[in-house]
Structures are given as C-alpha cells and as structure tokens.
C-alpha cells in the first residue's frame, strides 16, 4: 500500500512541476510600455524607443550601448536608460555625454524596468503617431538592434 501512495505522490509532484513550467506569463508587456511612455510624457515625435537596462545580459547590453553610441544623433530614436547603477561608468564606456543629448531619457524611477525575465535585455519599441505598434528584445537568440540598424541604414 505504501508503494502505491509513493507512486501516486510522485505522479502528482511530476504533474505539478510539468504544468507550472508550461504556464505562460500573463503579464502584458505592451501595456506596461504604454503606461511607462505615458508616465514619462514621451514626445510623439519619436519613431523608435530603445530601452537599455543597466544590468542583465552583459553581451546584449553592450550591443545596446554600442548601438546608442552609433545612433545617439538620430532624432527619431529615444534612448531610455533604466536600472542604472552609474551614469559616469556608462558615459565612460560609450563616450556619450548623456546630458548633451535631448533624446536620452534617464529613467531614475525605473518606470521602464520590466518586472519580467525580459528586463535583462535591451528592447526596441516601434512608435507610430505616439502609439506602440511593435516591440522586440535584443537577446542572444534575437536581433532587435541589428534589425533596427538595417531599417535605419536602408532609409537613408
């Protein structure tokens, strides 16, 4: 009898683990970004918002910082720096003087810092007439920043 109880408990435990791993997050990242943009009173003139977190996937964040360095003078892009530990270190790494660029928003309140696993990745948000139309993350498996770079280079 004990054997059957252990087997039953084992199946219940296995079923619980499998079902919890298959659950998708119900968190609505798009609504989160819409609220953050509204709260920060972001201008409708930007076509792109690039969110660069201060901590997370180091290679991905370095790509975001490199992208900012190359495109900081593009007035169609707003760069949002969130969850930063040091502006001085970021300025030293990128060579970008943050206060000299009106299209860099320092998110001191971490309004753009997602409460999901994606918070560790840079994010590219496509804007049209002040509305979020699409967003994607720069991860080890995805190429959001490269895709934006291609769009920008092809529109010259």
Sequence-separated (6 or more) residues with CB below 8 Å from residue 56: 119, 120, 121
In a domain, 14, yes or no: no
What is the DSSP-derived secondary structure letter of residue 102? T
Which CATH number do you get for residue 150?
3.40.30
Phi, psi of 78 (to 5 degrees): -105, 125
In a domain, 10, yes or no: no
pLDDT at 132: 95
CB 81 within 8 A of CB 52: yes
Is the pTM value of this prediction over 0.75?
A: yes
Sign of CA dihedral 46, 94, 107, 32: positive
Q: Report how far apart, in Å, the C-alpha atoms of 52 and of each of 17, 122, 139 are.
A: 34, 5, 12
In a domain, 36, yes or no: yes
Alpha helices in 72-130 (DSSP H): 87-94
pLDDT at 24: 46
Domain count, the chain: 1
User: What's the domain range around 30?
Assistant: 24-154
CB 82 within 8 A of CB 66: no
In a domain, 7, yes or no: no
80 closest CA partner among 123, 114, 27: 123
In this structure, the chain runs to a length of 156
Give the number of other CB atoms < 10 A from CB of residue 94: 19
pLDDT at 113: 95
In a domain, 16, yes or no: no
Per-residue tens of pLDDT for the chain, all 156 residues: 666 665 655 555 555 554 444 444 568 999 999 999 999 999 999 999 999 999 999 999 999 999 999 999 999 999 999 999 999 999 999 999 999 999 999 999 999 999 999 999 999 999 999 899 999 999 999 999 999 999 999 987
80 closest CA partner among 116, 44, 111: 111
In a domain, 130, yes or no: yes
In a domain, 40, yes or no: yes
In a domain, 72, yes or no: yes
């Amino acid at each position: 009898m004990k054997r059957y109880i252990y087997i039953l408990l084992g199946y219940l435990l296995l079923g619980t683990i499998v079902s919890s791993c298959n659950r998708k997050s119900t968190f609505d990242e798009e609504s989160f970004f819409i609220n953050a943009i509204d709260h920060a009173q972001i201008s409708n003139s930007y076509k792109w918002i690039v969110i660069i977190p201060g901590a997370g996937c180091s290679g991905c964040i370095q790509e975001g910082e490199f992208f900012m360095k190359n495109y900081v003078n593009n007035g169609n892009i707003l760069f949002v720096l969130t969850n930063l530990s040091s502006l001085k270190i970021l300025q030293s790494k990128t060579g970008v003087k943050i206060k000299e660029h009106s299209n860099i928003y320092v998110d001191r309140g971490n309004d753009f810092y997602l409460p999901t696993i994606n918070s560790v990745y840079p994010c590219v948000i496509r804007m049209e007439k002040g509305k979020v139309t699409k967003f994607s993350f720069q991860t080890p498996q995805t190429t959001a920043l490269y895709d934006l770079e291609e769009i920008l280079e092809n529109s010259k």
